[in-house]
Amino acid sequence: MGAFHEQVRGPAVPTPGSRAVRRPLGVGEVVITGGPLGRWQEVNRAASIPLGLVQMERAGSLPNLRRAAGEEEGEFQGYRFQDSDLYKQLEAVAWEHGRAPAAGYEEFVDEAARVLAAAQRADGYLNSHYQVVKPDKIYAELEYSHEMYCAGHLFQAAVAAARVGVGEELVAVARRFADHLVEVFLRGGHDGIDGHAEVESALVELYRLTGERSYLELAGKLIDNRGKGLIKDSGMGPLYAQDHLPVREADTPVGHAVRQLYLEAGIVDVYLETGDESLLECSVRRWEDMVATKTYLTGGVGSRHDGEAFGERYELPPDRAYNESCAAIASVHWNWRLLLATGEGRYADLIERVLHNALAASTSADGVRFFYVNPLQRRNDLVEDAYLGRRRDWFACACCPPNIMRTISSLGHYVATSGDRELVVHQYVPGTIRSGGFELSVATDFP
């Protein structure tokens, strides 16, 4: 993996030869000791992550994979993307293990990896829903199957485990699946793309970890295939899945907000590793439009319940806002990569706004109840609000809770960067920062 990866451990680590003008520090190089971010991390560790581990069994994510492995009887539980909940939970556990090791974390990663390896097909394919429920429909429903979306979260979990020194078998599972995707979608002539972007950024990160360039090439191909009508109609239209225009031609974020922002993170990641300036230019163009016309005061995005989507420019109703918690997290991912690519403080400023508002509101003070949607104002109990607009300990579609957990456990990654003989602090939190052979002590009551 190289000394660079051994020294710098975090969710997004551009290679030494990338176009990054800022370098992320490792999670272990930033220790948050107090303030809101410090409190969130302690609550996440004491309450949220333990809840998530229980839900991996109760909600079906691990049992589904045991069924795919032939280790357990029973019907499939949950949604077709149920595997992704486990992968985000694994990533949360990995980053927390890197931040503050504790008994049980490494064992959870190892046992989950064992189940995944047992469920994985000989050709590398892995998806419990399609293996158990629809084995004859593999890659036949990409418009809504989430097969590559789930793969992407697996890759990110494996990268997290590797960077904190655990999960060797998890990395092996991830690589077998990634190699399978390369054989099918890069070398095998299959031009399909997943209706839910996510795998693009994950493939780049797996390339950064392993040096396997085909992963980067596949990410680039998937991005270039957007806007060619290759995503079949899921009933939501081409804007919903960002398939209305090639990425270099689109001027404003549209459709499902989380999908758009995960796609943007992948676009910037591919720019960082290839130097394709057209990718950075188009992503910055959409960022400027989003911030000026489609972003709430809290930093939240996605104003429509219909399609969990961006609305038109300046369509920002406070009481009907969707503002999905996952969209806030995806915004942090995108802004962080833009910060690494450009060094411009405006991206760190938006991360700050999101962290202290849109993300801060997503979790109860005790860490065991979560918002899926985050309206700025409540006028009445609409049908959607009865389920989504109240904090709950879990959801049938539980994309948000483990996503929140993996973000909180890796918050140290977003505090500071290094550059050419400099250290830049982006988020003001009490703690210590170690970089370049020196230690910086930070004391602040901000905000």
Q: Which residues participate in catalysis according to the annotation? A: 308, 399
- DSSP label of 422: E
What phi and psi, each to the nearest 5 degrees, are found at residue 268?
-70, -35
Q: Which two tokens stand for residue 288?
A: 């400027």
What phi and psi, each to the nearest 5 degrees, are found at residue 440?
-110, 130
Helix %, strand %, coil % of the chain (to 5): 50, 5, 40
| Amino acid in the structure at residue 180 | H
- Classify burial at 360, counting beta carbons within 10 Å of its beta carbon; exposed 0-12, middle 13-18, buried 19 or more: middle
- Residue 126, C-beta contacts closer than 8 angstroms, at least 6 positions apart: 68, 83, 116, 119, 120, 151, 154, 173, 176, 177
- Residue 258, C-beta contacts closer than 8 angstroms, at least 6 positions apart: 196, 302, 308, 324, 326, 327, 330, 399
- Residue 92, C-beta contacts closer than 8 angstroms, at least 6 positions apart: 44, 49, 52, 402, 405, 406, 408, 409
For residues 258 and 302, the answer to whether their CB atoms sit within 8 Å is yes
Chain position carrying tokens 């009907």:
320
- Residue 70, C-beta contacts closer than 8 angstroms, at least 6 positions apart: 118
User: What is the gyration radius of the CA atoms in the chain, in angstroms?
Assistant: 20
- Residue 178, C-beta contacts closer than 8 angstroms, at least 6 positions apart: 124, 151, 155, 203, 206, 212, 215
For residues 92 and 49, the answer to whether their CB atoms sit within 8 Å is yes
Which residue spans within 19-120 are E strands per DSSP?
A: 23-24, 30-32
How far apart (Å, rounded) are the C-alpha atoms in residues 219 and 237? 23
- Residue 28, C-beta contacts closer than 8 angstroms, at least 6 positions apart: 9, 98, 99, 412
